[in-house]
């Protein structure tokens, strides 16, 4: 075929922002060295990269941790001023950045901003001898941000500027971010659902209201938005609903001083093994009432796992029309009752444990009451 008769492959074409998945989750914390040690020993993560004064960075120290496809970054301020110190003073330790892997960070940023996202960092390139990574950042709920990471050919462990540093964790069988849950203020849930729809093309995948998620005292509403390649990015968005007493979402908003990430759910390939190991390492989990396990066989039907073992480890089970899931929730991982983790194993089920909300809420309320916040 002669030149000029070929289709023009270079012609610009409008396309949806392509989010490949969650690239990493960065926490701003008071003491990153200790936080990294906690996630390494209690959760089994490897420390894979570091930046700080030794690498020429003057204002922060950051540790990148990895397990399976999950990358967490712990960043602490080295000065009393600046965005990291401000974030920690207001929110305590918490999630600052939910980063997405993209194939074109500049396009993803321009796309998001043209659809109403507020820019935080214009597209820029970080480089070292191992290659280049293109990054750009936009703001989302509260002080949380989304960073687009285009790491095409980068050969280092995390990002340019970090030096590779390996301290092995034992591994807890955690392999993937299943979903990240955001708490927002009363009446703001629908605004953020439409924000994710407008900016990233996310659709509402499931929703829950007070009739699904309520106990005698407190209630919440939740809509689950999902998008990105093959629906790899899932964000349930919660708001408090009116109950007799304070919703757990209100308690979070009070202590976090605004909206933020409530929990990160990590998929395990074998939740019984994972939770057994995590418990022995000192991870602390919420306890379901004993009555939960008495009605469980009737509620979920036959499952592969030994019910007695699930009861000992306090693992919860739920079923939908596609299969079942096993899940468990940690207690908050800071002194403030804010961020916690979920460990989840899916055996076909696409839900989020609706059948466990009641038992879970009761467990959370027992803890809220012990803190004097119910
Ligand atoms: Fe969850």
The tens digit of pLDDT for each residue in 16-47 reads 558 999 999 999 999 999 999 999 999 999 99
Number of domains in the chain: 2
CA atoms of 36 and 86, how far apart (whole Å): 20
Q: How far is the CA of 315 from the centre of ligand 1 (A)?
A: 14
Contact 207, 193 (CB under 8 A): no
Residue 311 shares a structural domain with residue 225: yes
Q: What tens digit of pLDDT does each residue of 299-318 get?
A: 899 999 999 999 999 999 99
Q: How far is the CA of 83 from the centre of ligand 1 (A)?
A: 29
CA atoms of 263 and 180, how far apart (whole Å): 6
Residue 183 shares a structural domain with residue 329: yes
Residue 99 vs residue 365, higher pLDDT: 99
Residue 335's pLDDT is: 96
Answer yes or no: is 2 within a domain: no
Residue 162 shares a structural domain with residue 213: no
For the cut 90, the answer to whether the pLDDT of residue 369 exceeds it is: no
* Res. 247 pLDDT band, cuts 50 70 90: confident
Q: How far is the CA of 341 from the centre of ligand 1 (A)?
A: 8
Residue 149 shares a structural domain with residue 181: no
Q: Which residues pair with 237 in a beta bridge?
A: 182, 223
Answer yes or no: is 68 within a domain: yes
Which of 104, 136, 167 lies at the terminal end of a domain, its last residue?
Answer: 167
Residue 132 shares a structural domain with residue 185: no
Residue 180: partners with Cβ closer than 8 Å, 6 or more residues away: 22, 25, 95, 98, 234, 235, 261, 263, 264, 265
Residue 163 shares a structural domain with residue 266: no
* Res. 14 pLDDT band, cuts 50 70 90: very low
Q: Which residues pair with 222 in a beta bridge?
A: 208, 238
Q: How far is the CA of 263 from the centre of ligand 1 (A)?
A: 7
Residue 221 shares a structural domain with residue 357: yes
Which of 108, 141, 167 lies at the terminal end of a domain, its last residue?
Answer: 167
Q: How far is the CA of 364 from the centre of ligand 1 (A)?
A: 14
* Res. 77 pLDDT band, cuts 50 70 90: very high
* Res. 245 pLDDT band, cuts 50 70 90: confident
Q: How far is the CA of 353 from the centre of ligand 1 (A)?
A: 8
Residue 45 shares a structural domain with residue 184: no
Looking at every residue in the chain, the average pLDDT score rounds to 91
Which residues keep their CB under 5 angstroms from ion ligand 1? 265, 342
Q: What percent of the chain has pLDDT over 90?
A: 79
Q: Which domain holds residue 197?
A: 174-371
Q: Which residues of 57-84 are buried (b: 16+ CB within 10 A; e: fewer)?
A: eeebbbbbbbbbebbbbbbbbeeeeeeb
CA atoms of 20 and 361, how far apart (whole Å): 33
Answer yes or no: is 13 within a domain: no
Residue 59: partners with Cβ closer than 8 Å, 6 or more residues away: 77, 78, 79, 82, 84
Q: How far is the CA of 335 from the centre of ligand 1 (A)?
A: 20
Q: How far is the CA of 102 from the centre of ligand 1 (A)?
A: 24
> Residue 318's domain is classified under what CATH number?
3.10.180.10
Q: How far is the CA of 352 from the centre of ligand 1 (A)?
A: 6
Residue 217 shares a structural domain with residue 361: yes
Q: How far is the CA of 308 from the centre of ligand 1 (A)?
A: 23
Residue 135 shares a structural domain with residue 201: no
User: If you average pLDDT over residues 158-173, what whole number do you get?
Assistant: 95
Radius of gyration of the chain (CA): 21
User: What would the 3-class secondary structure string for the chain be?
Assistant: CCCCCCCCCCCCCCCCCCEEEEEEEEEECCCHHHHHHHHHHCCCCEEEEEECHHHCCCCEEEEEEEECCEEEEEEEECCCCCHHHHHHHHHCCEEEEEEEEECCHHHHHHHHHHCCCCEEEEEEEEEECCEEEEEEEEECCCCCEEEEEECCCCCCCCCCCCEEEEECCCCCCEEEEEEEEEECCCCCHHHHHHHHHHHHCCEEEEEECCCCCECCCCEEEEEEEEECHHHCEEEEEEEEECCCCCCHHHHHHHHHCCCEEEEEEEEECCHHHHHHHHHHCCCCECCCCHHHHHCHHHHHCCCCCCHHHHHHHCCEEEEECCEEEEEEEECCCCCCCCCEEEEEEEEECCCCCHHHHHHHHHHHHHHHHHCCCC
Q: How far is the CA of 339 from the centre of ligand 1 (A)?
A: 12
Answer yes or no: is 63 within a domain: yes
Q: How far is the CA of 180 from the centre of ligand 1 (A)?
A: 7
Residue 192 shares a structural domain with residue 158: no
Answer yes or no: is 6 within a domain: no
Q: How far is the CA of 351 from the centre of ligand 1 (A)?
A: 9
Residue 213's pLDDT is: 66
For the cut 70, the answer to whether the pLDDT of residue 8 exceeds it is: no
Q: How far is the CA of 115 from the centre of ligand 1 (A)?
A: 28
Q: How far is the CA of 181 from the centre of ligand 1 (A)?
A: 7
Answer yes or no: is 8 within a domain: no
Q: How far is the CA of 89 from the centre of ligand 1 (A)?
A: 27
Q: What tens digit of pLDDT does each residue of 321-350 get?
A: 999 999 999 999 999 999 999 999 999 999
User: If you average pLDDT over residues 285-303, what whole number do you get?
Assistant: 88
Q: How far is the CA of 177 from the centre of ligand 1 (A)?
A: 11
Residue 16's pLDDT is: 57
Residue 359's pLDDT is: 76
Residue 225 shares a structural domain with residue 195: yes
Answer yes or no: is 33 within a domain: yes
CA atoms of 213 and 193, how far apart (whole Å): 19
Which of 167, 193, 211 lies at the terminal end of a domain, its last residue?
Answer: 167
Q: Which residues pair with 74 in a beta bridge?
A: 27, 63
Residue 214's pLDDT is: 64
User: If you average pLDDT over residues 291-297, what whole number do you get?
Assistant: 87
Answer yes or no: is 62 within a domain: yes
């Amino acid at each position: 075929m002669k030149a000029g008769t070929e289709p023009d492959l270079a012609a610009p074409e409008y396309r949806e922002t392509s989010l490949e998945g969650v690239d990493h989750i960065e926490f701003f914390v008071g003491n990153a060295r200790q936080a990294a040690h906690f996630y390494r020993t209690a959760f089994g993560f490897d420390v894979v990269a570091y930046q700080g004064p030794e690498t020429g960075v003057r204002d922060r120290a950051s540790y990148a941790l990895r397990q399976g496809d999950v990358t967490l970054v712990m960043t602490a301020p080295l000065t009393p001023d600046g965005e990291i110190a401000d974030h920690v003073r207001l929110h305590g330790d918490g999630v600052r950045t939910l980063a997405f892997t993209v194939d074109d960070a500049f396009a993803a940023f321009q796309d998001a901003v043209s659809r109403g996202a507020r820019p935080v960092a214009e597209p820029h390139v970080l480089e070292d001898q191992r290659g280049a990574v293109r990054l750009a950042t936009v703001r989302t709920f509260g002080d949380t941000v989304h960073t687009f990471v285009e790491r095409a050919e980068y050969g280092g462990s995390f990002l340019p500027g970090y030096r590779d540093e390996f301290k092995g964790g034992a591994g807890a069988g955690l392999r993937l971010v299943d979903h990240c849950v955001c708490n927002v203020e009363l009446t703001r849930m629908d605004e953020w659902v439409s924000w994710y729809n407008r900016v990233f093309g996310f659709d509402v995948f499931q929703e829950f209201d007070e009739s699904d998620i309520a106990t005698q005292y407190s209630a919440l509403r939740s809509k689950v938005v999902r998008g990105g390649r093959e629906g790899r990015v899932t964000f349930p968005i919660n708001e408090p609903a009116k109950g007799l007493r304070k919703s757990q979402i209100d308690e979070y908003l009070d202590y976090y001083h605004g909206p933020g990430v409530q929990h990160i759910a990590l998929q395990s390939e074998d939740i019984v093994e994972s939770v057994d190991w995590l418990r022995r390492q000192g991870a602390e989990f919420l306890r379901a009432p004993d009555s939960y396990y008495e009605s469980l066989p009737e509620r979920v039907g036959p499952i592969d796992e030994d019910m007695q073992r699930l009861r000992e480890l306090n693992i919860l089970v739920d079923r939908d029309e596609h299969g079942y899931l096993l899940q468990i929730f940690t207690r908050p991982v800071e002194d403030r009752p804010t961020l916690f983790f979920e460990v989840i194993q899916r055996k076909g089920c696409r839900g989020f444990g609706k059948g466990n909300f009641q038992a879970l809420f009761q467990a959370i309320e027992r803890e809220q009451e012990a803190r004097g916040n119910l």
